[in-house]
A and B are shown apart, each in its own frame.
Chain A
Amino acid sequence: MLRILTAATRRDTSTLFLKRFMSSTSNNNNVGAADFPVQASITSKLMEALEPSALRVINESHMHNVPKNSETHFKVVVVSSKFDDVKALIKRHRIVNSILSEEIATEGPVHALSIVAKTPAQWKEMELTGNGKVVIDKSPNCRGGDGSLPSK
């Protein structure tokens, strides 16, 4: 069964707890795909291609100098047995990049993509180390951007 990783609070996107959910929605606001189409597209593509045992798609756009409700900066945390035979991090990231190639193309909507790609065994080890919860580092703070995106 797919496990959706959620944050304890809306703001605390750096701490993820393991929970089982019936819904496949992965954002904290419980808003539908129509409101956040890029997030929905990323989620469905990763689910289809990687059949993950755990998945979290985090919209980090609010951390950057872009308008409210933008979908320009994302972090994906994906745990999949399809990575068992892919030891090199760069190869795992390339797999995710190719799944999301439309979104992250130069002309696509996503300006930055942070990836955490683990096997189930690696994730379990992280859980054990963290006493049942896995802490994922937040992405670095924005430095103002390069002016290519509309600002807040």
Chain B
Amino acid sequence: MMSLNMLSRSVTRTALLSSKRLGPVSFFSNNDSHSDFAPQRKTISDDDEALKMIHEHVQTNHIMLYMKGNPSMPMCGFSATVVKILKDQGVDFSSVNVLDYPSIREGVKKYSEWPTIPQLYVGGEFIGGCDIITEMHKTGELADLLKPEKSDDKKE
């Protein structure tokens, strides 16, 4: 267990975002846990590279959100709504700020064949954007989908 767990959540997120080694994926946790095991990312050079990267993101991060802005400062009302829902669900999730990565912003639309951001993936599968996530949250379907993640042991 790393002593980096002692870092505050905001510092952890800032460190992740500014780290070239870790690339575009940042990790949000309600529990101050530290994602020192986050996958390393290369600089994105072209469209194919972006698609491969997205595939890796969604396969290795159980809950993966492509959004505008980041969880502490969303830049779009739709993205903010999904972030709030995930926080209300009490789950940890990974995110990419597509505003910083134009090739991921376009690549994720091709990857999911979905035209807009935000995009939420769970277990490697595209679940939907703001409207769908909101509806699923209301009906309880989202809680059921995320249930296995909530009961997992906390990452350390």
Q: A residues touching B (Cβ–Cβ < 8 Å)?
A: 89-90, 93-94, 97, 101, 104-106, 112-116, 137, 139-146
| Smallest Cβ-Cβ distance to B106: which chain A residue | A106
Given A90-B132, A106-B115, A139-B77, 7 extra CB contacts under 8 A: A89-B128, A90-B126, A94-B113, A139-B78, A141-B77, A146-B68, A146-B76
B116 adjacent to chain A (CB < 8 Å): yes
- In the complex the two chains form, is A90's CB within 8 Å of B75's CB? no
| Smallest Cβ-Cβ distance to B126: which chain A residue | A90
Total A-B pairs in contact (CB under 8 Å)?
Answer: 59
Q: How many residues of B contact A (CB 8 A)?
A: 27
- In the complex the two chains form, is B68's CB within 8 Å of A106's CB? no
Q: Which of A101, A105, A112, A144 contacts B78 (CB 8 A)?
A: A112
In the bound assembly, the distance between CA atoms of A92 and B134 in angstroms comes to 15
- In the complex the two chains form, is A93's CB within 8 Å of B77's CB? no
B136 adjacent to chain A (CB < 8 Å): yes
Q: Give min CB distance, B141 to chain A, whole Å.
A: 9
Q: A89-B136, A90-B128, A114-B131 are in contact. Are A143 and B69 (CB under 8 A)?
A: yes
B5 adjacent to chain A (CB < 8 Å): no
Q: Across the interface, which residues of A come within 8 angstroms of B134, CB to CB?
A: 137
B81 adjacent to chain A (CB < 8 Å): yes
Q: Across the interface, which residues of A come within 8 angstroms of B116, CB to CB?
A: 104, 112-113
